Structures are given as C-alpha cells and as structure tokens.
Structure 1
Amino acid sequence: MRRLHRNLNEAHDHAEAANAAKSRFLAVMSHELRTPLNGMLGMAQTLKKGDLNGAQREQVDIMVDSGETLLALLNDVLDMSRIEAGKVELAPTPSTMKDMVDRVVNTYNPLLGSKDVVLSYHLDEGANRTLSFDVLRVYQCLSNLVSNAVKFTELGSVRINVSVTEEGDGYQVRCEVRDTGIGMSKAVIDKLFEAYSQADAMTVRKYGGSGLGLSISRRLAELMGGTLSVTSDETKGSTFVLTFHAGAVTEVAKAEPISASILAEDDDTLPGMSILLVDDHPINRKVARLFLEPFGFDITEAADGQEALDLDMSRFDLVLMDLNMPRMGGLEATRIYRANEAPGRRLPIVALTADAMKDQIAACHAAGMDAHIAKPIVMDTLIETVTRLLHLADEDEAQAEVESA
C-alpha cells in the first residue's frame, strides 16, 4: 500500500513537472513568434495608411491576412493550453446577438470571393435584446463555425439562425450554422472535437487548418453553460449548433466605436509630448516609432532597462517598456524606478511586449506598470492607451498643483 501511495505521488509530481515545462515552452514560443509577427504586421499597418495603387494595396492586404492567420494559430495553441490548465476566465459584457452576427457576417462576406455561395442569417426577436455574455469568446466560437462552413462550401449557402429564450435568471442562446458543403462521414464526426484532430489527409491538404478550432469552441461553450454539436450528411452539408447561457442586463449605455487614431489626430495636446521607447529589437522600435510619430510625439529610444534608467526616465511624459532585454529587463527597471520615484508625479509606464500570458500581464502590474500592450501591436490600441494615460497623468499633476497651492 505504501509503495502504491509512493508511486501515485511520483506520478503526480511527474505530471506537475510536465505541465510546468509545457507552460514554460508555450510562454517562450509565444514571445519568440510574436516578435517577428510584430515587425511584419506593424509595417503592413503602416503601409496601408500610405498612398497605394490597387496592386500594392492587394499585396499589403495579403500580408496582413497572412500575419493575422499566423497570430490566430498562435492564439489557438495558447487557448488550448489555458483551457487544459483550467485558467480561462469569462468576461461578460453587455451586447446583443444581432451585433454579434452582423460582425461575423461583415467579416466573412468579403471572403466568399468568386464562390457561388450566399451567406445569410435569420434572427428571432430576442436577438435584439441586450444580454450579458463574453463577447470575445462567443465571437471566437461563432466565427470559427462560419469560417469552417465558408471554407468547406463551394456552392449553395451558409446560413446562421439565432434564437434567444428566457431561462431561469438569464437566457439560453442558440446559434445554428447550416451549410451545403462537402459534409462529413460518421467516422469524421466521431473525432471532430478532439484536439489536433482533422479529417482525412486529402481534405487537410486541400483546406488546411490546425485541428484546434472546434475543440476549443466546444470547451468554451461548456464553460459558458452550453454545448456545441453537429449533424452532417456527406451529400447535403453540415449543421453546427452552439448554445450558451447569457445573463440579463437591466440598462446599458451604448456608445458608437470611434477609431483611437482619429481621435488622436484632433488632439492638439499630443504634439511635443516626450515618449521613451525601450526595446532591444530595432524592428520593434521602428514599428512603434512609425505608429507614434505622425501624432507629433517626440520619441527617444533605449535598448534595455539600464539604458532607460541612465537616461533619467523622469524627464519623459511616458515610457513604453519591453520586458525581456539584455543587461536589465523591463520589470526590474520599472521596480527600480518606482522605488526611487519622486512624490507628486507618477510616470506612466506601459509594457509593450510579446509576453502575453495572464501571469505575465499580472507581473507587469505588480512591478508598477500602468498598462499592457501585447505584440503584434495594433495601432489603435497603442494610440488609445498612450493618449489615455497621458491625459490621466496631466489631470493628476494639475490636481496635485491645486492641492499644494
């Protein structure tokens, strides 16, 4: 009995060590893959802002699409790891299923190209009701289902049907995605929701895919109190049904989304404000500079945390700080600066990093950073974060002057 107990403990320890090793590997791979993606997608976003002819714009669009496909694959791998480790947390926000479906249809309609396929939808009255659900995760699931339907349908239709019914203290949402595509055999359906599992080799060669999307979507559906199922006929197509539980919302103020870069263009307080950009990779610095300089920021560069401290960070209005750098990383530099920061003014420090896992983001805030931006950098995210923190810093400084007067 003691030997059995010892063997069980050893097996548990080995499993824990294997999970820890996998987490470390994923963290390193996430960082290493996001750095070149940041360079590629950053330059492509900058090119799209320029004066391009039709052929050039098409080429840039292909670059962006290819980069975003790689990023989606990376995020799928990380999502699967988080789900297996039980570290996925839902973040419900108010929205409607009509907005959700409109967003999905607007994304995939242009991808139909020359296909003789019609993408349509039908929503019941409840789809206009404001509900509380994790918008990002529901979009991820529904988008994956529609993407597969469009991919495997060469002729006919892809149709989305959505119904919302009252259930207990909230609502049951049912999303049906029906296509007239190639369909699936029972053997394929039986392994469809297994991680890394795909159809036969010929289908994989023709259509591609990682074999993760449906497995992730089913697990997310279960986390949201629902299910994901499928029926299919090899001659008539497939029907996927996603269900999930949504909470009730009594009142919500809805604002129209506005591009952060458009708002910043009209902000006459930005030109001349100084930003210290700390990153050991010259391409990353180039991308951030190209995003920021059009708004009139004065950019100073540093290659690591020690150089940033030597430049006297207090001279700047804001610091963008990478984490993994030679000599001194961003977390250590931030901790040292915060420990010696003069009272009365808090310098905004933003993590601009390829470290994007939840514990890495928490470490940034614990070190004294004010925000986290993951690479590849999205221009609007960068501009919105920088302008928001600069305005908050100005308000705090003005308040401090009033209190000291």
Structure 2
Amino acid sequence: MDKRLINLLLVEDDEDDYILALDYLQEIPDFEFNVKWLSDYDLIMQALQDEPFDLCLLDYQLGAHTGLSVLEAAKNMGCATPFIMLTGQSDGVLDAQALTLGAEDFLVKSEINSVQFIRAIRYALARKDIAIERLERLKIESDSRAKDRFLAHLSHELRTPLTSIIGYTDLLLSRAELDSIKPELSIVHSNSQHLLALLNDVLDLSKIRENTLSLNKSNFALSPFLADLQNLFGIAAQKKGLLFTIEADTPVPEFICSDATRLKQVLINIIYNAIKFTQSGEIRVLLTFEQKHNQSVLNFSIRDTGIGIPQEKLKRIFNPFEQVQDTTTRTEEGAGLGLAISASLIKLLGGNFQVDSVLGQGSTFTFLIDTGVSSENLVNLNLQQPVALQHKALTTNDTLQGNVLIVEDVSNIRLLLTNIISATGAKVTSVDNGQKALTLLSDEQQHFDLVFLDLHMPIMGGREVVVAARSQQITTPIVALTAAALKGSEETLQALGFDQVLTKPIDTQQLHECLTHHLSAASNERDALESEQPITTQTKKVLLLEDDKDARELMGLLLKSLGIEVFSAQNIQESLRVYQQEQRFDLVILDLNLPDGSGFDAAQAIKNINATQQLAIISGSEPEPESLVALGINHVLLKPVSLPDLQKLIE
C-alpha cells in the first residue's frame, strides 16, 4: 500500500537529536516523511510562512529563543500547521503553556522511540485532516449561500423590466380601442405572469436555503380552502378530459391552524404537475385525519394515472432544478423548482413528503401536516360552498348605514374589510396606524358610528388608542381585531375600553352581526343634509420618485389612468425640490434604490419637512422592517408593480 507523504518541519538545534528523530520517523508505518531541518529563528518563521507543512516537531531549547516563542509567533501570524513540542525533561508548567499557545501535544525526547510518539503524530495529523475537512465544508456552504444570494439578486433585478412588460400590458388591455389585439396581449400578459411565478419560486428557494422563509400560521376553515382548489383545477382537468376529485375517507377538522398560503402553494404544485403529466384517467386528492404520536395530523395523498417516474429518478425529483424529462426533449414547461420548494415547505409545516410511482401507470404523492388542533369538532368534508360565497350574506345586504373607521396596518386585511363593509352600504374610512385613528376620533368635524381597531400596529397600538380615546370621553363603539385568542384576553380588552373583540381570521357572519348590532339607520334629517351639500372632489396628487426612466413613465401612466395628478422625479435632490414647491401631496412613492441614496434617505428628508406625509416604498426585495417602522412607512409594493397594485394603494 502506498504511504502517505508528510511534509514535516523539524525545529532542532542539536544534530544528534535531529538524526535520532529522523531514524524513528522512518520507522513509522503508513507514512513517508519529507523532513526539513531548521534551527535559526528567522529561517523557521520564514519557512512557516512560505511552505505548507503537515506537521512541525518543535524543540523547546533554541538558543536565544524557545519553542514557546516560535509557537506563539506562528499562531499570531495565522499558521495552521500542527505543532508537537519536544523537550529534554518532563515539565508540567511548560506542558500547560505549550498547549495553551496551541500545540497539539507535548513529549519528552526520551519518548520518541515509544508508541506514544507514533500516537501523538497520528493524532496531530488526524486533527489537521478534520480541520481541513471543516474548512472545505464551510467553503462549500459559503459557495452555496453565495449562489443563492446571486439567484435572489438576479430575480430582483429581473423584476424591473417585468414591471414595464406587465404594467404596459395591463394598460393596453384596459383600452377598448385595442379589442382586436387583446387575445395577443393576453398571451403576453399570461407569459409575463408565468415568468414572475418562476422568479418567485427562485426567491422562495433562496429563502428556504438561507433559513429566512417564515410561516404565517392562523386558523382557517378547511372545506372552503379545498373547495377553492376544486374550482381552480376542476376546469383545467375537464379541458384534458380528466376526472379531478377531492375527498376525505375520515371526518376532518372544521378548522386547522397552519399557513394557508404555503399549504395551497404545495397542493397547487403537486396537482398542477399531476394534471400536466396525465393524458387520460384521473387525479384524486384523498385526505385522512388521525392522531399520531400525540399529534393531530392531516394526511394528503395526490394520486394520478399519468406517465409515472422512473425509479432511478425518484430520489432526484426533490432536488432543485431537476427535471424528470431531459430539457432538450421534454414537452412541458417548468423550472424544476416546485417539488423542491414543496418538500421544504412541508418540513416547515411539521410534516414529511414521499412519492411512489410506477412508470406508465401513475404517481402518488403523500405528505402530512400538523393541524395544530385537537381531534374534537370533526366534520364531514363539504366542497359544495366555495370560498367566494362566504361573503354572500354581506354582499346581498346593502341596507346598513353609518360611518365605519378601520384601523389596520396590514394593507390586505384593511382592503378586505373595506370591501366587505362597503358592500353593506356603510361608508368606510381606513388608516394604517393608531396615531392617525386617534387624530380622526379626536376631530370634532369627523363622526364615526363604529371603529374596528387592530391591536398590533407600528407607531401606536390598539390598546394605547382605546385607552387614550376613552380618557378623552370618546364613546364611539370600538371593536378589537386580534390574532391572539388567548384565554382571558377578551375580558382584559373589554376592561381597557373595547366594546367587542373579533379574532382573525375574521368570521364574516360574526362581522355581519357586529355591524348590524352597532350601526343604526341614519336619520332622514342627516340624509337630507348630505343631499343638500354640494359634492366636491379634489384630484389626488402623488409624487413618484423612480430613477428608472421606463418604470417611471409606466407608473406615471398607470397612476394617471386612475385619475391621479402625478409629479415625478429621478433622484432625491430633484424630489425634494418638487416636494417643497408643491407643498401638498396625498402620497409619495419612493423607489428603494436611487442614484444619490436610498428610498429611506428620501423618506427621512421628506418626514423632516412634513412628519405626517403618507409614504410608500417600491422595491425588488422586501425592505428591512426596522427601517419601515422607524420612518412610519406602512406601504410597500414589490416590483413588478401592476395597475391593481397601484389601485389598492390609492384606495
């Protein structure tokens, strides 16, 4: 067997000891030593700096210097060579000093003909090998993180041109005179959305690998959730002549606690693949609820009668960018990220993922998730009422009257409540933090019949608002919105001054009952007064700060299509000049990356002029939450920005 070559530096000022050590080194099996012998301090330090030694045998006595001084100097300059200290006699203090300075071992010269000498050398070399392996592993991990950061950065950069593609297509699709080419425009729009979905997959994968992807768990109704998927994929399956069903062979929880968005993402990925690779037969989703290891779990099984997956490729399909079909011959599109992301998401959701497949007969994907609920309140799965019908009672009853204030920092929830409550006939005003709410409630010119107040918001939370309002003798009914339905929390909130508590996700029936209870029909006198008052409208003014010319022009057009008067700037200095000239803006939209600073710099400068100015950030990536909170920015739009995005922001 070939011997392992070891480059060894022998630091010894006695030639007899050098020859003796060399003889014993040659007798060690499995190793061949290439020995360099030095005794001069400067030459020793130069050699340790210039040459990669696997091991150094270091004599303690070196004339004007000692082995300890060599060892200390070597470690100070970052030398990774392992050292074994040699001395003429045993010395516990010297031994401790050597080990403290980083020596691997300490031996008396009389022991170099013993097994202990051989063992010390083997251990020193083994520890060096372990250190090298660790460095290699760290390098691989670092390279992997660098690749993931690059992918994330690339996807962010691609969002800017996508903004123009999707935005202009939105704009063209809204023009009646272009009806003749709308089929072609729809194709452009559809493919742009597909490209955006692929970019989002890349971002998700990067977040998963960097352990920055977090879940947003909440209680949601299972049957409407699955009914939504039934409606979504039923038509797609029908177009291919396939049967698509979602069933449960056991009663299931009425509500589960999980991340509905991520669970839907997993199911869409798997079902979409099943339909894509199935030409005839069926796709069946089967649910089973069971108690497992003191845990209530929900099993999902998605079976198709498609082309199947070769056994040798089953283990690879969960690897990022892997495709069952070769990229040069495959007929179906996709980046090969869906299953990799799905497997990682299922782990985050508290479950596991597996697949069984027979080539030419079909595949079965199974996974389970922790439901986060007990085995009580089980019901039969009912997919007859889709999610869209949940608001029927609200949308069909438009007899309520009154002024409602919604205080919620999450724009999606704020928009949802606004739409639902507006559909009842009530007038809605919404703000995104408690300070603005308290200002409105304190204004004698304003009148509200009911307030929905979120508890957790930046600047001023709901608890502080209700305490301040009640101390000012404001008697308007205030309903708390909270995601924390803890025991005793309702009593505590009512003691602070809340009239009622609604937990998230908001139950529409409870919301309707709350509105009916608190809102009374407006008097004929108020209606008469309102009808006599002239209707005055004021065009909203928006300042747009965006350095990219195409994106700036596009967003300007989109905003103008919404009836907005737009002022634009391409850098911070220009934006401040425009802002000071015009004085009043309903909203300032700031790009995060600018040629003369960041959007946060511009936000700070504008806040210095007008602390109450409404601001929105547009960016290719999620901004730092700390910076948003510090500047009181509650609106963030991720590129590409579409017409519906801007419409929601303006509303």
TM-score band by shorter chain is 0.7 to 0.9
Task: Quote the offset at 1:39 in angstroms.
Answer: 1.3
* Partner SS state of residue 373, structure 1: strand
Match of 2:594 among 300, 303, 325: 325
Task: Quote the offset at 1:270 in angstroms.
Answer: 7.8
Matching residue of 2:213: 88
Matching residue of 2:640: 376
In the alignment, does 2:402 pair up with 1:136?
A: no
Task: Give the number of the structure whose residues are more often helix, by fraction.
Answer: 1
Task: Quote the offset at 1:193 in angstroms.
Answer: 1.2
CA distance in 2, matches of 1:271, 1:349: 19
> Which residues in structure 2 correspond to 1:383-402 (within 5 Å)?
383-387=647-651
Task: Quote the offset at 1:15 in angstroms.
Answer: 5.2
Matching residue of 1:34: 159
> Which residues in structure 2 correspond to 1:310-321 (within 5 Å)?
310-312=577-579, 315-321=584-590
* Partner SS state of residue 146, structure 1: helix
- Work out whether residues 198 and 204 of structure 1, in 8 Å CA contact, stay in contact via their aligned partners in 2: no
Task: Quote the offset at 1:223 in angstroms.
Answer: 0.9
* Partner SS state of residue 248, structure 1: coil
Task: Quote the offset at 1:364 in angstroms.
Answer: 4.3
- Work out whether residues 318 and 347 of structure 1, in 8 Å CA contact, stay in contact via their aligned partners in 2: yes
* Partner SS state of residue 311, structure 1: helix
CA distance in 2, matches of 1:27, 1:373: 17
Matching residue of 2:191: 66
> Which residues in structure 2 correspond to 1:6-405 (within 5 Å)?
7=132, 10-11=135-136, 14=139, 18=143, 21-22=146-147, 24-51=149-176, 56-112=181-237, 114-123=239-248, 126=251, 129-165=254-290, 171-201=296-326, 205-248=330-373, 256=391, 271-312=538-579, 315-338=584-607, 340-342=608-610, 345-356=611-622, 360=624, 363-366=627-630, 368-387=632-651
Q: Which amino acid aligns with 2:320?
A: A
Q: Which moved more, 1:200-209 or 1:29-38?
A: 200-209
Task: Quote the offset at 1:119 in angstroms.
Answer: 2.2
Change (3 A) 1:361 1:42: farther
CA distance in 2, matches of 1:270, 1:102: 42
Q: Which amino acid aligns with 1:30?
A: S
Change (3 A) 1:121 1:312: same
Deviations, residues 52-92 of structure 1 (Å, cap 9, x unaligned): 78763432332222112111111111111111111111101
CA distance in 2, matches of 1:68, 1:235: 32
Change (3 A) 1:284 1:127: farther
* Partner SS state of residue 33, structure 1: helix
Q: Which amino acid aligns with 2:617?
A: A
Larger Rg belongs to:
2
Task: Quote the offset at 1:195 in angstroms.
Answer: 1.9
CA distance in 1, matches of 2:284, 2:178: 35
Task: Quote the offset at 1:133 in angstroms.
Answer: 1.1
Task: Quote the offset at 1:143 in angstroms.
Answer: 0.3
Deviations, residues 363-394 of structure 1 (Å, cap 9, x unaligned): 4445553221101224434333333xxxxxxx
- Work out whether residues 606 and 613 of structure 2, in 8 Å CA contact, stay in contact via their aligned partners in 1: no
CA distance in 1, matches of 2:166, 2:184: 13
Q: Which moved more, 1:79-88 or 1:95-104?
A: 95-104
Tell me, which stretches of 5 or more residues in structure 1 are unaligned?
Answer: 388-405
Q: Which moved more, 1:142-151 or 1:100-109?
A: 100-109
* Partner SS state of residue 641, structure 2: coil
- Work out whether residues 355 and 361 of structure 1, in 8 Å CA contact, stay in contact via their aligned partners in 2: no
Alignment RMSD: 3.6
> Percent identity at matched positions?
27
Higher relative contact order (CA 8 A, sep 6+): 1
Matching residue of 1:403: none
* Partner SS state of residue 242, structure 2: strand
Change (3 A) 1:158 1:10: closer
Change (3 A) 1:248 1:55: farther
* Partner SS state of residue 597, structure 2: coil
- Work out whether residues 172 and 178 of structure 2, in 8 Å CA contact, stay in contact via their aligned partners in 1: no
Deviations, residues 28-53 of structure 1 (Å, cap 9, x unaligned): 31222001111111222333334378
Change (3 A) 1:22 1:306: farther
Per the normalisation by structure 2, the TM-score is 0.52
- Work out whether residues 323 and 330 of structure 1, in 8 Å CA contact, stay in contact via their aligned partners in 2: yes
